[in-house]
């Protein structure tokens, strides 16, 4: 069974204070790891997909990296508008023929104070 664990559950940062969010996963044959951002009262918004260990992707102040066991979402010099819940999800080989199902982690709630 695919499993995803995100840590910490909540993270408070001062504006400009860089940090990282962790996503640890167990999956049979990783086909893709997804990062989403979710604002309160809204649906998840796609950020990145990583496909293989060693891959990195960047978008503004966010950088996602992937190893064989975990992914990190690095936030450099965050701003208050980066405050949101960040979700990690995996897609494995076993769910390839099951509608490409995703298994989600519980999320990390990020709060950036000015």
Partner 1 sequence: NAGVTQTPKFRVLKTGQSMTLLCAQDMNHEYMYWYRQDPGMGLRLIHYSVGEGTTAKGEVPDGYNVSRLKKQNFLLGLESAAPSQTSVYFCASSTRTSGAPDTQYFGPGTRLTVL
CB 19 within 8 A of CB 13: yes
Task: Quote the least distance from Cβ 12 to partner 1, whole Å.
Answer: 18
Position 101 contacts partner 1 (CB under 8 A): yes
Radius of gyration of the chain (CA): 14
Residues from 55 through 74 that contact partner 1 (CB under 8 A): none
Q: Report the alpha-carbon distance of residue 20 to residue 96 in Å, rounded.
A: 30
Q: From CA 13, how far away is CA 95, in angstroms rounded?
A: 36
Q: Is residue 43 close enough to count as binding partner 1 by CB under 8 A?
A: yes
37 binds partner 1 (CB under 8 A): no
Of 26 and 49, the one with the shorter C-beta distance to partner 1 is 49
Q: Is 45 in the site for partner 1 (CB under 8 A)?
A: yes
């Amino acid at each position: 069974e695919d499993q995803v664990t995100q840590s910490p559950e909540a993270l408070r940062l001062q504006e400009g204070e860089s940090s990282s969010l962790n996503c640890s996963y167990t999956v049979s044959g990783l086909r893709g790891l997804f990062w989403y951002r979710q604002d309160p009262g809204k649906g998840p918004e796609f950020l990145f997909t990583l496909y293989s260990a060693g891959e990195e992707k960047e978008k503004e102040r966010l950088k996602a990296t992937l190893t064989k066991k975990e992914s990190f979402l690095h936030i450099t010099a965050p701003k208050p508008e980066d405050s949101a819940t960040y979700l990690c999800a995996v897609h494995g080989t076993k769910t390839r023929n099951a509608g490409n199902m995703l298994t989600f982690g519980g999320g990390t709630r990020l709060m950036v104070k000015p």
